[in-house]
Amino acid sequence: MKKKYVQAAIAAALAVTMTASLMACQPAASSSGSQAGDGGTVTSDGKGEPAEISIAIWDIENAMRNGTDDKILTAIEEGANVTIKPVNTTWDDYRDKIQLWAASNQLPDMFAIDVIGSSFYHDWISQGVVSPLPDDLSRWPNLEKYMSSPEIQGLRAPDGKMYVVPRVMWEDLIDGSQERRVYYRWDLAQAAGVTKEPENYDEFRDMIKKIIAADPENKKITGLTVSVPQLFDSFFMPYGVPLGMGDGSGSDFKWIEKDGKYVPAYFNGDLLSVFQLARDMYTEGTIDPDVALAKAQLSEDKFLQGKVAAYFLNTTTDSLQRKWEKSNPGMNFEDCVKIAHPFPMQDGSMTTVPVFKSYWSETYIGTKDPEKIERILDLMEWMLANDELVRFGFEGEDYKMEDGVRITLGDIPIGEKYPANALCSLVQYANWYRFEMTGNENVDKYRQWDLEYRDWVRENCELPDFEPAVTNLSTPAKNQFSIKPADDIIKIMTGTEPVEKMYNDLMDAYEKMGLQKMIDEVNEAMK
């Protein structure tokens, strides 16, 4: 049986290519590894009228709110010879909307979602709901190079065609830890008598309990909240099941080899202890009681207003600091907030981080019109070739280069000056930009926080081995099987029956769903 290790798989993939930030594309990291071309502007041949392309991606209406007054939006549309028609989705509704549009034959020409490997993915391909990319991409050299990595090529459908353009995020898989971090109120902890920063789950719980009991600001403060519930597994799973977290799609669960057989990593660990920890924290109040209903803006407001003691989310520190400064004038962010390092497993044997892929989410082509498909590929080509323009603005106006360092000009964040900057994630996330210094001391000192966190993780955390190829494998039972760890955690965390009973009921449900049949099919296919 072939055994591949994640480190080797990712290294091979990135040797050829180098996906998100899940937020607007603020400048942030070393420019090495960029998918951009030589820096020159790539435009279409300009023949004919611009093609109208409807695009559904998160908050696209907001990204295009300034219309032709936005120089980046104008550059995109003129450069690719397209007119973008926004079809808005949000982090709360994108899956439901797109699945409904697919079922009713109303898909936009181009749309973003995260369903690789799911039943939706396989059905859309087999039923002709989405269109494949051309076999020959030589007309679009930047896109051809981007799509050539072994990891992405491994996503070809059984018919040999490619139906997705994944959003690449990271050069090194372990850097995905940046997407799930706990920010907590260190000033309130100190006011409550805490003198040591938490280094494990028990110390974190103790700190939160003391903050809640003291309530230094008299705001009836509660415990940890999360930007959206689907992220919660990334906080709890490292406690007992290091590879147990998912991306919310239900189809990205990891596989490991155990006793000569491939099994889902979700069921290979102390899952019961993870559920018990979640229930204990929820019961004792160290988890915000409304966390199951968390929404991004509401959770952010709670943290900024001092209503929760800690906040688990995907962001950059300089972005959170700017919001903090607006909401809390006179309160220095660095005096009030700290980032918790990843906590070790319950037995102390390993400190790991959320493990995903080098990409997250993907673009599909929803139109069958050959001309529109070509224009969509023109747009992707332009975005890859002009990646730095969309992320950083215009050289000489928005930044200058000095000794290889990009120095930001002006005090207005690029995303505020050009809302269309958020469209930088249309093809790829390129989250390595998060670490790029700007020359602005007020920004860079918080970028340094993220660099120090990254370096700490690289030095102190481990990535367990798993078999990436099995995650993308298609078998009848596997295509219908779904694991959503965050949903399982929230259900048991907020439940009223004993944790062990709910755990056993859940395991029975997975067996009835076809767990063993899936395992048998996978192992037969991997021989």
Q: Residue type at 72?
A: I
d(CA 218, CA 164): 51
258 burial class (0-12, 13-18, 19+ CB within 10 angstroms)?
Answer: exposed
User: pLDDT tens, position by position, for the chain (527 residues)?
Assistant: 443 333 333 333 333 333 334 344 644 333 333 333 433 444 445 457 999 999 999 999 999 999 999 999 999 999 999 999 999 999 889 999 999 999 999 999 999 999 998 889 999 999 999 999 999 999 999 999 999 988 899 899 989 999 999 999 988 889 988 899 999 999 999 999 999 999 999 999 999 999 999 999 999 999 999 999 999 999 999 999 999 999 888 999 999 999 999 999 999 999 999 999 999 999 999 999 999 999 999 999 999 999 999 999 999 999 999 999 999 999 999 999 999 999 999 999 889 988 878 898 999 999 999 999 999 999 999 999 999 999 999 999 999 999 888 999 988 989 999 999 999 999 999 999 988 888 888 899 999 999 999 999 999 999 999 998 899 888 999 999 999 999 999 999 999 999 999 999 999 999 999 999 999 999 999 99
> Cα–Cα distances in Å, from 480 out to 251, 398, 483?
9, 49, 10
Task: Output 291-295 pairs: Cβ under 8 A, ≥24 positions apart.
Answer: 291/224, 291/225, 291/226, 291/229, 291/232, 291/490, 292/229, 292/490, 292/493, 292/494, 293/229, 294/225, 294/226, 294/227, 294/228, 294/229, 295/92, 295/228
Q: Give the side-chain half-sphere CA count within 13 A for 230.
A: 15
User: In the structure encoding, which two tokens stand for residue 28, read together?
Assistant: 């942030």
Helices (H), 438-514: 441-460, 468-471, 476-480, 485-493, 499-513
Helices (H), 20-70: 60-63
CATH of domain 6-174+358-460: 3.40.190.10
Please give the angle made by the CA atoms of 276, 279 and 281, to the nearest 5 degrees: 105
User: In the structure encoding, which two tokens stand for residue 46, read together?
Assistant: 């300009």
Q: How many helices (H) and strands (E) does the chain have?
A: 23, 13
- Residue 365's DSSP bridge partners are 110, 131
**Which residue carries 């790029």 as its tokens?**
436
Phi then psi for residue 79, to 5 deg, are -65, -40
d(CA 430, CA 20): 7
Sequence spans of domains, the chain: 6-174+358-460, 181-352+472-525
Provide the pairing of β-strand 222-226 with 405-408. Answer: unpaired
What angle, rounded to 10 degrees, do the helices at 271-284 and 499-513 form? 140
Domains 6-174+358-460 and 181-352+472-525 share a fold: yes
d(CA 6, CA 471): 12
The CATH architecture that domain 181-352+472-525 belongs to is: 3-Layer(aba) Sandwich (3.40)
d(CA 61, CA 54): 12
Label each residue of 172-235 as H, E or C: CHHHHHHHCEEEEEHHHHHHCCCCCCCCCHHHHHHHHHHHHHHCCCCCCCEEEEECCHHHCHHH
Where on the phi/psi map is residue 277: left (φ > 0), alpha (ψ -120 to 50), or beta? alpha
User: In the structure encoding, which two tokens stand for residue 515, read together?
Assistant: 């767990």
**Which residue carries 């040591």 as its tokens?**
196
The count of other CB atoms within 10 Å of the CB of residue 356 is 21
Q: Give the side-chain half-sphere CA count within 13 A for 369.
A: 13
d(CA 515, CA 505): 14
